[in-house]
């Protein structure tokens, strides 16, 4: 049975930890992010996190509903970092482009945490704020509710899918990542045109483009497609 999470006002530790710090939800999340960045998701446990904070591991359960609750808080923190400094302008395509790129960048800044959280629905405040902003931009642009939800679904899943894909590449060792990127020149560029005419014709372009994320281009395609679906009176 899951333990009950202590209410916010009652769970703050008044006494400093052995390291002289006062625990807070934010401090725990930031420490967990650092541990995941340095050791991967396998390196995150209540015992190790407690040791890093100088606190008893059981103290963490006053702040989160187990380690899964902490995982959701990490995901919400990444979304929050994307929202920091972002504000809607009323120009829906520009707003959704900038927000999508910011979310993607926030995940790639912590690739191990991105792999851990990109597929999760946190239900926490900053994720909810991001969802409200996306739906507000679409409805404000003139999309009917059903279309707004359909485009929102494609928009957010595209962003999270590319975040996980690109984070997976960044989480590789340098040697493995370099080997993957070199494959476009060491293998694809040398394929015979007689057998692989299309690859041979585009080999140079493939070698130039493929090591980079396709997300910005895919996002632009999605937004262009969405704009074509606006009711005639709202288009433009």
pLDDT at 1: 42
How confident is the model over 79-98, as a mean pLDDT?
Answer: 97
> Of 23, 20, 30, 19, which is closest to residue 8 (Cα–Cα)?
23
How confident is the model over 53-62, as a mean pLDDT?
Answer: 87
- The CA-to-CA distance between both ends of the chain, in Å, stands at 54
Query: Same domain for 97 and 206?
Result: yes
Percent of the chain at pLDDT above 90? 76
Query: Same domain for 203 and 116?
Result: yes
User: Residue 12: pLDDT above 70?
Assistant: no
User: Residue 9: pLDDT above 80?
Assistant: no
**Domain assignment present for 25:** yes
How confident is the model over 164-178, as a mean pLDDT?
Answer: 95
Contact at 8 Å (CB) between 78 and 117?
yes
CATH of residue 27: 1.10.10.60
Report how many domains make up the chain.
2
Query: Same domain for 43 and 102?
Result: no
pLDDT at 168: 95
pLDDT at 41: 83
Query: Same domain for 39 and 92?
Result: no
pLDDT in tens, 178-214: 999 999 999 999 999 999 999 999 999 999 999 999 9
**Domain assignment present for 77:** no
Query: Same domain for 30 and 112?
Result: no
CATH of residue 139: 1.10.357.10
- Residue 104: is it exposed, middle or buried by C-beta count within 10 angstroms (0-12/13-18/19+)? buried
Contact at 8 Å (CB) between 155 and 104?
no
**Domain assignment present for 70:** no
Query: Same domain for 12 and 51?
Result: yes
pLDDT at 160: 98
How confident is the model over 52-79, as a mean pLDDT?
Answer: 91
User: Residue 118: pLDDT above 60?
Assistant: yes
Query: Same domain for 118 and 214?
Result: yes
pLDDT at 3: 44
How confident is the model over 160-181, as a mean pLDDT?
Answer: 95
Residue predicted with more confidence, 125 or 62:
125
User: Residue 135: pLDDT above 50?
Assistant: yes
pLDDT at 2: 45
Q: Which residues fall within 8 angstroms of residue 181, CB to CB, at 6 or more apart?
A: 210, 211
Expressed as residue numbers, the domain containing 129 is 88-228
How confident is the model over 26-35, as a mean pLDDT?
Answer: 93
How confident is the model over 4-30, as a mean pLDDT?
Answer: 64
Q: Quick one: tokens of 109?
A: 């800044």
How confident is the model over 215-220, as a mean pLDDT?
Answer: 98
């Amino acid at each position: 049975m899951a333990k009950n999470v202590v209410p916010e006002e009652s769970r703050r530790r008044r006494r400093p930890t052995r390291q002289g710090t006062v625990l807070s939800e934010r401090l725990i999340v930031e420490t967990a992010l650092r541990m995941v960045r340095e050791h991967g998701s396998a390196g995150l446990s209540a015992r190790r996190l407690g040791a890093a904070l100088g606190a008893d591991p059981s103290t963490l359960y006053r702040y989160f509903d187990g380690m899964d609750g902490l995982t959701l808080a990490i995901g919400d923190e990444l979304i929050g970092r994307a929202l920091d400094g972002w504000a809607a302008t009323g120009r829906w395509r520009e707003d959704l482009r900038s927000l999508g790129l910011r979310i993607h960048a926030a995940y790639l800044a912590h690739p191990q945490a991105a792999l851990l959280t990109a597929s999760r629905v946190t239900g926490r405040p900053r994720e909810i704020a991001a969802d409200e902003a996306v739906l507000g931009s679409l409805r404000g642009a003139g999309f009917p509710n059903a279309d707004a939800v359909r485009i929102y679904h494609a928009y957010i899943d595209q962003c999270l899918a590319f975040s996980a894909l690109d984070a997976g590449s960044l989480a590789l060792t340098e040697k493995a990542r370099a080997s993957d990127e070199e494959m476009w020149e060491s293998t694809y560029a040398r394929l015979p045109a007689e057998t692989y005419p299309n690859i041979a014709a585009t080999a140079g372009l493939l070698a130039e483009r493929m090591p980079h994320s396709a997300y910005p281009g895919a996002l632009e395609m999605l937004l262009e497609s969405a704009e074509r679906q606006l009711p005639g009176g709202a288009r433009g």
